[in-house]
Amino acid sequence: DAKTTQPPSMDCAEGRAANLPCNHSTISGNEYVYWYRQIHSQGPQYIIHGLKNNETNEMASLIITEDRKSSTLILPHATLRDTAVYYCIAHLTDSWGKLQFGAGTQVVVTP
């Protein structure tokens, strides 16, 4: 799986959109971009994933650049409960499922 690079931390004001960047310049054509988040001492929570097209669900939106070298996770209206470590993972789904986590981005939502 390709390596991803994320900023170590970022702050966001409650009620504003949070835009979390991720670089994956070596991603291959059949690797998906997955996002998980982990609230302190809990198990990682699946957020969203995509291959080429932008994706949206009830939690977030995922914007993938046309060259697929980077992506942005958007939390449209951040709340205090969105404070967590966010992990961006490039993952080959036919590789039997080994997820390679990096250090992630610590997001702190402030009132």
Partner 1 sequence: DAGVTQSPTHLIKTRGQQVTLRCSPKSGHDTVSWYQQALGQGPQFIFQYYEEEERQRGNFPDRFSGHQFPNYSSELNVNALLLGDSALYLCASSAQTGYSTDTQYFGPGTRLTVL
CA atoms within 13 A on the CB side of 54: 9
**Rounded CA separation 19/6 (Å):** 12
Nearest by Cα to 21 from 104, 79, 101, 91: 104
Angle at Cα 47 formed by Cα 45 and Cα 52, nearest 5°?
145
Q: Closest CB to partner 1 among 98 and 111?
A: 98
Q: Which positions touch partner 1 (CB under 8 A)?
A: 34, 36, 41-46, 49, 87, 93-104
For residue 34, the minimal CB distance to partner 1 (Å) is 8
For residue 75, the minimal CB distance to partner 1 (Å) is 19
Q: Closest CB to partner 1 among 34 and 82?
A: 34
For residue 16, the minimal CB distance to partner 1 (Å) is 26
For residue 82, the minimal CB distance to partner 1 (Å) is 18
Tell me whether residue 94 is exposed, middle or buried, using C-beta atoms within 10 angstroms of its C-beta: 0 to 12, 13 to 18, 19 or more. Answer: exposed
Q: Closest CB to partner 1 among 66 and 96?
A: 96
